A and B are shown apart, each in its own frame.
Chain A
Amino acid sequence: AQKVTQAQTEISVVEKEDVTLDCVYETRDTTYYLFWYKQPPSGELVFLIRRNSFDEQNEISGRYSWNFQKSTSSFNFTITASQVVDSAVYFCALSEERDDKIIFGKGTRLHILP
């Protein structure tokens, strides 16, 4: 069965620091998709990235970057030069091609302190 583990329940950093959110996944499928979502206090899910299992290239989008390593089943997310507006809960998620269900990790609550 698919599983997503986000070991960091809560992280607090001071503004402008870099922060990395960890995500480890389990799946028996060879074709799968990994996601990161941001959930601000309003509750709405904000899509950040989707990566398929065949694309291990790291991705950078502005201050955000993602490191996908199949060898360690990890898909970590780094925010560079963090800002107060980055404060939110971040979810890592996994979808297997067989049923398309998106299964979420427990989330990491990120506090960026001014």
Chain B
Amino acid sequence: GAVVSQHPSWVICKSGTSVKIECRSLDFQATTMFWYRQFPKQSLMLMATSNEGSKATYEQGVEKDKFLINHASLTLSTLTVTSAHPEDSSFYICSALTGAVEAFFGQGTRLTVV
């Protein structure tokens, strides 16, 4: 199956700093990518839909100024957590959509804000 690579796998940052997470589709072009957040022992919650060349669409309750999403190419979407705080500590997962309604997930990024 198709491969989606997410980087970094884990990151620790200081409160108030910004962190960028990359999501790459390695062997296919993805016009649409999705970003999810998962708190411990909870489900994956959709944060936003990222479309190449246009602004991301955020789910209700997700602060777009805090979670900046850029989808500059057909193989790369980035999520930047700005001015991170401990409550932003979570597991972030991206998925990339192929043309055949097939979504492939990255391995996830575990963010810890101290």
Contacts and interface: CB of A to CB of B under 8 A. Distances in A.
A43 B43 contact: no
A37 B34 CA distance: 16
B101 A101 contact: no
B102 A99 contact: no
Interface in A69-107: 91, 95, 97, 99-107
B4 to A, nearest CB: 10
Interface residues of A, number: 20
A105 B101 contact: no
Contacts of B93: 43, 45
Contacts of B43: 91, 104-107
B46 A100 contact: no
Interface residues of B, number: 24
B80 interface: no
Contacts of B45: 104
Interface string B75-111: 0000000000000000101010100011111011010
Given A43-B91, A44-B108, A50-B102, 19 more contacts: A33-B101, A43-B38, A43-B93, A43-B108, A44-B107, A45-B93, A47-B1, A95-B103, A99-B49, A100-B97, A101-B46, A101-B49, A102-B46, A102-B103, A104-B36, A104-B43, A104-B44, A105-B43, A107-B43
Interface of B: 1, 32, 34, 36, 38, 41-46, 49, 91, 93, 95, 97, 101-105, 107-108, 110
Interface of A: 33, 37, 43-45, 47, 50, 91, 95, 97, 99-107, 109
